[in-house]
């Protein structure tokens, strides 16, 4: 890679400090929201929604291409940019793993704008796209992009947000396409696109509108950057690219020249992305693949704590080794840094670190599992609610930070072996976005009819005051006639969020398609109940039936078609009209 030591910086470096990139308003344009990797959501979840049903109110669900037997959800995380979709609409975008590609939908309704894979293999379902500064362009990386024309591939690709990946441009003609082919890209305030090469260093490219050129910038030293992503900050007038690596160092590079500004030697590798406090420039990152330390460095390279690192977990040979694999997040007051570990034995933990001295405020067993995969990073609301997935454990958590302890508010388990490796995005108007492998129970702006079967879904969860969970009517409904009775049967409804309360049984003497204004003849529970015997039915009278699902908050889907008519009779009461 010596050729890149003398690379000319072709893209002008913006004079404005990188800290100016903090104000994203109604956008979440990159993984962990911003170039600081703060993971700060702008919405305070109302007290009435802080209960076990927090994940259970779906505003919409949009099936991702392919079926559950064709692939799983991956580590790609949702990003959104208001006004950047077709016709100035608000768009949310997420990668999917199989048949592999990227999906763009209306973030308010889930109506599909586009989907597809510009070119390549599996990585598109693991990495997270990034929007350009004005949202008009999406950047993403993928593997297996080689062709006869581009034998070295074109790992970094771009396409118009308004039209999707059918038409795209890329870095295939650059001197080193793979230099920007690892991790989730970041877009600097001057428009340069930053990423890194596996087991190497960070690089930057420039988007010319018809092709991506470069690298136009390269760090002067390889740092064995592997799964880690980078962060951006500034020290006075010097803009910095900060990144850790498996060389057991945390290094800051000059964003104009690529020269190393400072580098801190550690005793442990860094696989996680740093998080930067936008107000102070201070950098935090966890380190380790057995014992875990947390690292803090000021933007000028000085130490804010008494030592460079603070121990948070010690591997003894009796307990299980832990790995710090993904970025953390920073509380809105800057006083707490959160990150999560993984282990092969599914006993990783979520940690809260006091940023004034590096002490551990609390840790919570999230049963986080994994090792080599892209893993979930926590995000945090202004009122101290942390949302994170426990990765191969297949559960998303909502956790309240109580200061010296944590309380699990809600959990949501994925279906059919689905992982929880994505990092959530949350809008200022109260919607939480996640890809989920779960029962399809909510429609979307395309009018798709939910099947209640397990699907890979891009989901919007309504966190607002007054939002009520609604479960679909149970499937497989049938009515069987009996003597002075009708036996109703159905399939028990799935309820990963735990919002089920009871089933309502409706009956009428005429067909119906809506139960609004009707009074149920019975309500039954628990959720596993799958039949009801209506003993009030009279022989010779025809009835129509329907079963709906009511949630703990009173939600109920009223629109349902009745089954019938069913006319009870006594099968043994037959007159003999002749004898042979």
Collect the ranges in the chain with pLDDT lower than 50: 1-25, 575-580
| Separation of alpha carbons 452 and 580, rounded Å | 54
| Separation of alpha carbons 120 and 414, rounded Å | 27
Q: What is the pLDDT of residue 574?
A: 52
Q: What is the pLDDT of residue 257?
A: 98
DSSP collapsed to 3 states, 347-376: CEEEEEEECCCCCEEEEEEEEEECCCCCCC
Is the CB of residue 143 less than 8 Å from the CB of residue 182? no
| Separation of alpha carbons 210 and 223, rounded Å | 31
Give the E-state strand segments of 260-376 in sequence order: 260-265, 275-276, 283-287, 292-297, 309-313, 323-324, 329-330, 336-342, 348-354, 360-368
Closest CA to 27 of 41, 17, 38, 37: 41
CA 491 to chain centre: 30
CA 320 to chain centre: 27
CB atoms inside a 10 Å sphere around CB 47:
9
Give the E-state strand segments of 167-237 in sequence order: 169-170, 182-187, 193-196, 202-207, 212-218, 231-235
Closest CA to 239 of 191, 185, 328, 299: 299
Please tell me whether residue 124 adopts helix, strand or coil conformation.
helix
| pLDDT per residue as tens digits for the range 446-489 | 999 898 899 999 999 999 999 999 999 999 999 999 999 999 99
Q: Which residues pair with 362 in a beta bridge?
A: 352
Q: What is the pLDDT of residue 67?
A: 78
Q: What is the pLDDT of residue 571?
A: 77
Q: Which residues pair with 287 in a beta bridge?
A: 293
Distances (CA, A) of 67 to 6, 435, 455, 499: 48, 14, 7, 26
Is the CB of residue 316 less than 8 Å from the CB of residue 328? no
Locate tokens 């809600």: which residue?
Answer: 410
| Separation of alpha carbons 373 and 147, rounded Å | 27
CA 319 to chain centre: 30
Q: What is the pLDDT of residue 573?
A: 57
Q: Say which DSSP state 473 is in.
A: P
Is the CB of residue 272 less than 8 Å from the CB of residue 287? yes
| Separation of alpha carbons 140 and 180, rounded Å | 10
Q: What is the pLDDT of residue 3?
A: 32
- Give the strand pairing for 101-106 and 329-330: unpaired
Please tell me whether residue 87 adopts helix, strand or coil conformation.
helix
Q: What is the pLDDT of residue 475?
A: 92
Cα angle vertex 468, ends 463, 472, to 5°?
120
CB atoms inside a 10 Å sphere around CB 37:
30
| Separation of alpha carbons 393 and 418, rounded Å | 9
Tell me what percent of the chain is helix, strand and coil, each rounded to the nearest 5.
5, 40, 55
Distances (CA, A) of 78 to 55, 116, 140, 370, 420: 16, 16, 13, 21, 13
């Amino acid at each position: 890679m010596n050729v890149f030591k003398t690379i000319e910086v072709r893209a002008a470096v913006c004079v404005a400090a990188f800290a100016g990139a903090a104000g994203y308003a109604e956008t979440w344009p990159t993984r962990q929201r911003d170039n600081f990797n703060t993971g700060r959501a702008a919405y305070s979840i109302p007290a009435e929604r802080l209960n076990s049903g927090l994940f259970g109110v779906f505003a919409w669900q949009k099936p991702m291409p392919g079926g559950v037997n064709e692939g799983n959800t991956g580590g790609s995380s949702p990003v959104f940019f208001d006004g950047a979709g077709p016709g100035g609409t608000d768009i949310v975008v997420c990668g999917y793993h199989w048949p592999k590609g990227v999906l763009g939908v209306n973030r308010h309704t889930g109506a599909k704008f586009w989907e597809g894979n510009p070119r390549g293999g599996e990585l598109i379902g693991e990495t997270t796209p990034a929007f350009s500064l004005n949202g008009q362009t999406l950047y993403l990386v993928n593997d297996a992009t080689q062709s006869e024309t581009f034998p070295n591939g074109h790992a970094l690709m771009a396409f118009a947000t308004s039209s999707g990946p059918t038409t795209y441009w890329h870095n295939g003609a650059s001197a080193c396409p793979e230099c920007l082919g690892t991790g989730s890209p970041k877009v600097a305030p001057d428009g340069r696109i930053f990423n890194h090469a596996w087991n190497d260093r960070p690089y930057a490219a420039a988007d010319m509108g018809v092709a991506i050129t470069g690298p136009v910038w390269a760090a002067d030293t390889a740092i064995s950057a592997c799964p880690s992503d980078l962060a951006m900050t500034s020290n006075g007038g010097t803009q910095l690219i900060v990144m850790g690596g498996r060389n057991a160092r945390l290094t800051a590079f000059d964003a104009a020249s690529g020269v190393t500004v400072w580098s801190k030697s550690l005793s442990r590798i860094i696989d996680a992305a740093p998080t930067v406090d936008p107000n102070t420039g201070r950098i935090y990152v966890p380190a380790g693949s057995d014992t875990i330390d947390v690292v803090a460095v000021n933007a000028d390279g000085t130490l804010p704590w008494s030592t460079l690192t603070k121990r948070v977990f010690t591997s003894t040979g009796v307990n299980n080794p832990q790995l710090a694999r993904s970025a953390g997040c920073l509380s809105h007051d800057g006083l707490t840094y959160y990150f999560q570990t993984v282990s092969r034995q599914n006993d990783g933990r979520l940690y809260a670190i006091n940023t004034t001295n590096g002490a551990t405020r609390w840790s919570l067993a999230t049963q986080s599992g994994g090792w080599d995969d892209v893993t979930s990073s926590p995000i945090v609301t202004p009122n101290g609610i942390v949302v994170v997935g426990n990765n191969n454990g297949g559960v998303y958590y909502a956790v309240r930070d109580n200061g010296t302890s944590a309380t699990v508010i809600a959990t949501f388990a994925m279906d059919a072996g689905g992982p929880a490796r994505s990092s959530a995005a949350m809008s200022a108007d109260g919607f939480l976005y996640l890809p989920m492998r779960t029962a399809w129970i909510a429609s979307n702006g395309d009018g798709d009819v939910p099947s209640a079967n397990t699907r890979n879904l891009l989901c919007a969860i309504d966190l607002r005051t007054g939002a009520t969970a609604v479960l679909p009517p149970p499937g497989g409904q049938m009515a069987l006639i009996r003597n002075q009775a009708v036996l109703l049967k159905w399939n028990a409804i799935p309820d990963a969020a735990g919002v089920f309360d009871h089933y309502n049984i409706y009956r009428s003497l005429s067909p119906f398609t809506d139960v609004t204004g009707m009074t149920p003849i019975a309500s039954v529970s628990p959720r596993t109940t799958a039949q009801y015997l209506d003993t009030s039915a009279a022989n010779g009278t025809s009835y129509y039936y329907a079963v709906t699902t009511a949630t703990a908050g009173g939600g109920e889907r009223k629109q349902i078609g009745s089954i019938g008519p069913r006319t009870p009779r006594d099968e043994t009461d037959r007159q003999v009209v002749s004898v042979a």
